[in-house]
């Protein structure tokens, strides 16, 4: 079959037009890609920030110790060797001052009292006898003095012999000496009587001590007295908490002791689960050289459930000191340790490791870390990395409520890592690369279809 020149001319014209359409389609795709605007740069992330401040850190100090009596009174007998006849008080009982706690058997001491009373009676009789002898001596002395007076001036007159005159004078002198001796005997008798009475009073006082009384009012902590025991001097029979007052003998670390002041309020947790409010009454001026612990006495109100020797804890409130602090939400805890994310002057994020101290009122103390005035990122630090540029929004640190550490802080989850961020960026780049080619592919397909139809 011979092909005419007209048909050949038409086929060449169709091929030319198909080639022109293909070139136009390719040129149009490149023009669209060049005409499409480039994606805008990502705006800096807005983050909440607060400043590192130095302020009084008002926080609680937790201490522990043993419940003890504020003041103990040991009750013992003042006389030894007597049997305890009765015990009238027991442990836990509240007694008044002067109340009888125990009674000793007074049988032996009563016999001593009777014997001494007889001695006193005998001494009194001796005094009476000595006084009578003194009176007789005084009478005899008076008679002898009268006889001597009658012979006065008769010496050498021959009325009486000189021997008789001298005898009368000697008798008067002897009578006067006898009076002096009688007076001394009376004094001795009276002294013996006074000694006997004093000894009787002593024995009677000892007999009164057979009734053992409470020296102070308070609660009996311990009773060792038992009926039938022989009481000994120096061995306490009872121990009494004066006034029933109980205190917490708290152990305080040496570094924290300077923060405690008399009068500080303390919430004491008792072993039984109850709580009681007390006040710091006394701070021991010494430190244990072995444990490096000091002691503080916390006074507690009288209560029935305060058991001496029990273990208790106390939370001291109002214990404050100046400290460099940041909100708790600014501190992140990771496997590398605690750190804060700061915002520099160029608005770039910097990670600074920190060493934290005490916490109170939603603030945490920085023992090591950024200086005062530095901006730190709050909870949004989980979504930024070091070197990122951010837009800080200052928040008053005092208005920040206490925030718990994120549960993901310890594991490192909850924020994109460098690898995750790279993966995400790569995926986005591939998506952007694929998305403009799809229309070109579809256009080429449509062109091929049209060419096939034309063919």
Q: Give the model confidence (pLDDT) of 164-210 as tens digits.
A: 777 777 877 888 888 888 888 888 989 999 999 999 999 898 888 88
Could you report the per-residue pLDDT of 2-55, keeping only the tens digit for each?
445 454 555 555 555 655 555 444 444 444 444 455 455 568 888 899 999 988
Of the chain, the percentage scoring pLDDT greater than 90 comes to 27
Q: Give pLDDT tens digits for 99-122.
A: 999 999 999 889 999 999 999 999
- Using an 8 Å Cβ cutoff, are 71 and 324 in contact? no
> Which residues fall within 8 angstroms of residue 92, CB to CB, at 6 or more apart?
219, 220
Residue 431 to residue 39: CA distance in whole angstroms: 13
Q: Comparing C-alpha atoms, which of 380, 383, 381 is closest to residue 352?
A: 381
More confident residue, 149 or 303: 303
Sequence-distant (6+) residues with CB within 8 A of 138 are 179, 182
Among 204, 194, 197, 222, CA closest to 79? 204
pLDDT mean over 262-270:
89
**206 token code pair:** 């000892």
Round to whole Å and give the CA distance between 87 and 66.
Answer: 30
Any idea which of 64-68, 233-237, 303-307, 414-418 has the lowest mean pLDDT? 414-418
**Burial grade of 137 (CB within 10 A; 0-12, 13-18, 19 or more):** buried
> Which backbone phi and psi does 68 adopt, to 5 degrees?
-135, 165
Class of domain 323-399: mainly beta
pTM score over 0.85:
no
C-alpha–C-alpha distance, residues 132 and 119, integer Å: 20
Q: What's the CA gap between 382 and 390, in Å, rounded?
A: 13
Nearby residues of 47 by Cβ (< 8 Å), 6 or more positions away: 343, 377, 378, 380, 381, 384, 390, 391, 392, 393
Cα distance between residue 121 and residue 199, in whole Å: 13
* Rg of the chain on CA atoms, in Å: 57
In 3D space, the residue among 98, 62, 66 whose CA is nearest the CA of residue 317 turns out to be 62
- Among the listed residues 82, 83, 86, the one whose alpha carbon sits nearest the alpha carbon of residue 103: 86
Structure tokens at 362: 């939603």
The pLDDT score that the predictor gives to residue 19 is 56
Superfamily of domain 64-71+245-322: Efflux pump adaptor protein, beta barrel domain (2.40.30.170)
Task: Indicate the DSSP class of residue 242.
Answer: E
């Amino acid at each position: 079959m011979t092909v005419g020149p007209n048909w050949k001319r038409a086929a060449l014209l169709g091929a030319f037009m198909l080639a022109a359409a293909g070139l136009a389609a390719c040129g149009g795709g490149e023009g669209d890609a060049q005409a499409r605007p480039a994606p805008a740069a990502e705006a800096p992330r807005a983050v909440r920030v607060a400043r590192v401040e130095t302020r009084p850190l008002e926080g609680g100090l937790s201490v522990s110790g043993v419940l003890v009596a504020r003041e103990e009174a040991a009750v013992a007998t003042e006389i030894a060797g007597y049997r305890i006849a009765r015990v009238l008080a027991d442990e836990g009982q509240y007694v008044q001052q002067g109340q009888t706690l125990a009674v000793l058997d007074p049988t032996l001491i009563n016999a001593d009292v009777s014997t001494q009373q007889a001695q006193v009676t005998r001494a009194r009789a001796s005094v009476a006898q000595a006084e009578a002898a003194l009176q007789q001596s005084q009478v005899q002395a008076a008679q002898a003095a009268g006889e001597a007076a009658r012979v006065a001036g008769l010496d050498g007159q021959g009325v009486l012999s000189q021997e008789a005159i001298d005898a009368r004078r000697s008798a008067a002198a002897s009578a006067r000496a006898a009076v002096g001796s009688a007076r001394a005997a009376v004094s001795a008798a009276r002294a013996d009587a006074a000694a006997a009475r004093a000894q009787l009073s002593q024995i009677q006082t000892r007999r009164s001590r057979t009734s053992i009384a409470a020296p102070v009012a308070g609660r009996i902590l311990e009773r060792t007295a038992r009926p039938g025991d022989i009481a000994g001097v120096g061995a306490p029979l009872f121990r009494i908490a004066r006034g029933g007052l109980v205190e917490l003998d708290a152990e305080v670390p040496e570094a924290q002791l300077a923060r405690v002041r008399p009068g500080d309020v303390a919430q004491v947790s008792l072993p039984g689960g109850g709580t009681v409010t007390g006040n710091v009454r006394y701070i021991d001026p010494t430190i244990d050289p072995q444990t490096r612990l000091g002691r503080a006495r916390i006074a507690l109100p009288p209560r029935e459930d305060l058991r001496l020797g029990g273990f208790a804890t106390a939370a001291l409130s109002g214990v404050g000191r100046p400290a460099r602090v940041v909100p708790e939400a600014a501190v992140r805890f990771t496997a590398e340790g605690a750190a804060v994310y700061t915002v520099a002057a160029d608005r770039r994020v910097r990670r600074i490791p920190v060493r934290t101290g005490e916490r109170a009122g939603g603030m945490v103390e920085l023992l090591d870390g950024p200086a005062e005035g530095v901006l730190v990122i709050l909870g949004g630090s989980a979504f930024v990395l070091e070197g990122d540029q951010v837009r800080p929004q200052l928040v008053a640190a005092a208005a920040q409520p206490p925030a718990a550490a994120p549960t993901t802080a310890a594991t490192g989850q909850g924020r994109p890592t460098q690898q995750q961020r790279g993966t995400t960026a790569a995926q986005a780049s591939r998506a952007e690369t694929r998305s403009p080619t799809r229309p070109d592919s579809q256009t080429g397909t449509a062109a091929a279809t049209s060419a096939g139809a034309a063919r």
